[in-house]
Amino acid sequence: MVEEPAKRRQKVAAERLYMASQYLSRETKKDLGLMLQVPMYVQDPEVARLRENLGIRNIDLDWEPGLADGPTSARVAVVDYNADTGLVAQPARWDEAGRRFLEADDPASFQFHQVNVWAVVQNTLSFFEDPHVMGRPIPWGFDGSRLIVVPHAGNLRNAYYDRSSKSLQLYYFGAAERPVYTCLSHDIISHETGHAVLDGIRPSYNTISSSQTAAFHEFLADLTAILSALRNNDVRGVVAEASGGDLYSDDTIADLAEQFARDEVVAVYGEAQRYYLRTAKNNLTMKEIQGEWEPHECSQVLTGAMFKILSEINKLQLADEPKPSPAEALWRATSHLNRMALRALDYCPPVDIQFIDYARAVLRADELAYPRDSKGYRTIIAQEFTRRGLEELATPAAPSRMDFLWKFTIDQIARSRTAAYSFLHDNRKAMHIPPQHDLTVTDLYYTDKLVEAEKCLPQEIVLEYVWEEDVKLEGPRFGGFQGQSIPLSCGGTLVFDGRGNVLHWSKKPGIEGAEGADKQEGEQRRELMLRYVEALIQAGMLGMAAGEGAAELALGTAAVVARPAQGRLRLEATPHLMHVGMGKGGHDA
């Protein structure tokens, strides 16, 4: 079929406008037809039943050339395959002329389900990439450019992100006449997308070293669900009106995945029934999770802390002059938390993150964006982290530019991983990197971030590096794993400004080649890892893969898999560890 000249010219014009869309405002893109209106649940069907104004709403997503059936976009592809039945559902068809997906008007249709899950994933990804948040394209943690989303993966009460299959697997469960579809829950979809985003930003967090590293994945996923929900005007308006400014008086965003928890057995805490998976309204401290290995449970310390910080910032915004409306105050508070909480990821170490590392990164991210702290937000942040048991908030002083040897300029280092490696190699002694260990530049990127009124922050260059040191599992406490070696992942994140000044250095020292406080910390890290491996073995949560590259361990068999690689065992999280699960007191698949 020959394309009509007028349609061809219109298509070319749209593609040219798309190429310049990064310089256009949201309103201008709407006027020029560079945005789509796509229907989706802003919470889930159960919340929509109770609150009609939190049902299906049209959200704005960027149009891009090449949108296709599925839906399929440049970064996300929906493939509706059911592993239980072996059937592939008819995909939602893309109508370029009408700029819409067809057969998606009926909320009961699988085509609506497909569009709904695609819209939530796309919206969550664009949320992270926004210049007001991370200010850069987010990679996936696997080879390839598209995350595969399976909305009806089978009959199972769960959902999870799986790096090995490059996918989000979303299941359905319950009575056959009215099944519950996790692909209709905004909280669950954005939670699992949060796992995928973090896996792209910090892929080594998938290598298990401690309960806190595993729990950080769950925290970031839950925080993603909360903040991406607050991005929606309708949700924010309902929360602002219902709470009257006190976010602890309303459960709309604090409680996660209401329908998922409500539809089956409800966990009982004392005399109170729980109609959610987890809640951000908690007062858990580090002392209370001491010795706890279950990541969903541990994660709630950070989730509760960030929700409390949001609540306190919201109160300060409401007291501002001229006095804003509750919805406007919540938008300002949410926007600030977005920048502070998510930009902190750029200041986190590349391996073995602990909650204290994130707390320091949050404070540093806020300090770099707002040096004056005129409203006292950092006081609120520090007080809340301290109350939760994260007292060591002082960030170790970053080295000055003169502490390093410079064969290349910072501009040359930022443009080449080879030059970045050379810089690190020249400075092994100063950075306590053992000369005998292979050193890898795991990431190197620029950021372009904005603050209020579209003001640009100075561009940052982020350099991440990693090496590994062998640790032997010695003694009967390691059972059948006794005598095997596992890696102690070491490394750091260096953040420079455009002149080569070091803005931040978050490091994870090893033992070999380290001195003083770094060596002491490396020894503590080794002991913490050994205790965690022992706890996993005793709990029956560590399983052995058949061989290098084996992927036969799936959901429900082991939380952590020991995979032979290069003469050692690499401990990796399986979907059974990083899934939507309820944590202690609840139940999951």
Q: Write the CATH number for 86.
A: 3.10.170
| Residue 5, both tokens | 């000249």
Per-residue pLDDT of the chain (589 residues; tens, 9 = 90+): 556 777 777 788 888 999 998 888 889 999 999 999 999 999 988 888 888 888 999 999 999 999 999 999 999 999 999 999 999 999 999 999 899 999 999 999 999 999 999 999 999 999 999 999 999 999 999 999 999 999 999 999 889 999 999 999 999 998 888 899 999 999 999 999 999 999 999 999 998 888 899 999 999 999 999 999 999 999 999 999 989 888 998 888 877 766 665 544 343 333 345 455 678 889 999 999 998 888 889 999 999 999 999 999 999 999 998 999 999 999 999 999 999 999 999 999 999 999 999 999 999 999 999 999 999 999 999 999 999 999 888 777 889 999 999 999 999 999 999 999 999 999 999 999 999 999 999 999 999 999 887 788 999 999 999 999 999 999 999 999 999 999 999 999 999 999 999 999 999 999 998 899 999 999 999 999 999 999 989 988 888 886 444 344 444 467 888 888 878 898 888 876 666 655 543 333 3
Q: What is the dihedral of CA 566, 143, 187, 55, to 10 degrees?
A: -170
* Shared domain check, 142 and 37: yes
- In the DSSP assignment, the letter for residue 209 is -
Out of 539, 564, 580, pick the residue that ends a domain: 539
In a domain, 18, yes or no: yes
CA–CA separation, 508 vs 351, rounded Å?
7
Q: Are residues 273 and 177 in the same domain?
A: no
CA–CA separation, 307 and 304 (whole Å): 5
- Do residue 435 and residue 342 come from a single domain? no
- Whether 553 is covered by a domain: the verdict is no
Q: How far is CA 242 from CA 89, 145, 249, in A?
A: 40, 41, 8
368 within 8 A of 339, measured Cβ to Cβ:
no
Give the CATH number for residue 217: 1.10.390
Rounded Cα distance between 198 and 348, Å, is 11
Q: Which residue has the tokens 């664009």?
A: 126
190 in any annotated domain: yes
Q: Find the angle CA(406)-CA(412)-CA(417) to the nearest 5 degrees.
A: 95
Query: Which of 237, 225, 175 minimizes the C-alpha distance to 197?
Result: 225
Residue showing tokens 């994945």 = 217
156 & 216 share domain: no
Q: Quick check: 80 and 89 in contact, CB under 8 A?
A: yes
Please state, in angstroms and rounded to a whole number, the distance separating the CA atoms of residues 183 and 47: 14
Where a domain ends, among 140, 167, 195? 195
**Encoded tokens for 572:** 């990796």
Residues 175 and 260 in one domain: no
Same-domain pairing of 53 and 155: yes
- pLDDT at site 382: 96
Single pTM value for the model = 0.93
Half-sphere exposure of 227 (CA within 13 A, CB side): 30
Q: Which domain holds residue 263?
A: 211-387
Quote the crossing angle between the two packed helices 295-318 and 377-387, to the nearest 10°: 150
**Which alpha helices (H) appear in 183-284, and where do they start and end?**
186-201, 211-230, 233-243, 258-262
Dihedral (CA of 7, 12, 17, 21) sign: positive
**Same domain flag for 364 and 413:** no
Cα distance between residue 192 and residue 228, in whole Å? 12
Concatenated DSSP letters of 455-520: PBPPPEEEEEEEEEEEEE--SGGGGGGTT-EEEEEEEEEEEEETTS-EEEEEEE--STT--HHHHH
Instruction: Tell me the residue length of the chain.
Output: 589
Same domain assignment for residues 191 and 221? no
Residue 185: per-residue pLDDT: 94
CA angle 492, 498, 501 (to 5 degrees): 55
Burial degree of 155 (CB within 10 A; 0-12, 13-18, 19+): middle
Both structure tokens of 536 = 């996993």
| 3-state class (DSSP) for residue 420 | helix
- Answer yes or no: do 217 and 120 share one domain: no
Distances in whole angstroms, Cα of residue 588 to Cα of each of 112, 530, 556: 26, 27, 10
Please indicate, yes or no, if residue 574 is contained in any of the structural domains: no
> CA-CA distance, 297 to 292, in Å (whole number)?
8
Whole-angstrom distance, CA of residue 147 vs CA of residue 165: 9
345 and 438 both lie in a single domain: no
Q: What share of the chain is helix, strand, coil (3-state, %, to 5)?
A: 40, 20, 40
pLDDT at 435: 93
pLDDT of residue 588: 38
| Domain annotation covers residue 206 | no
Distance between CA atoms of 278 and 41, rounded to whole angstroms? Answer: 20
245 and 177 together in one domain: no
Q: Which two tokens stand for residue 145?
A: 């450019």
Q: Do the domain assignments include residue 576?
A: no
Q: Per the domain annotation, does 202 fall within a domain?
A: no
Query: Domain check: are 90 and 238 in the same one?
Result: no
Identify the helix (H) or strand (E) that includes residue 50: helix 45-50
What is the total count of domains within the chain? Answer: 3
Residue 290 forms part of a structural domain: yes
CA 584/CA 373 separation, integer angstroms: 38
Half-sphere exposure at residue 45, Cβ-oriented, CA atoms within 13 angstroms? 14
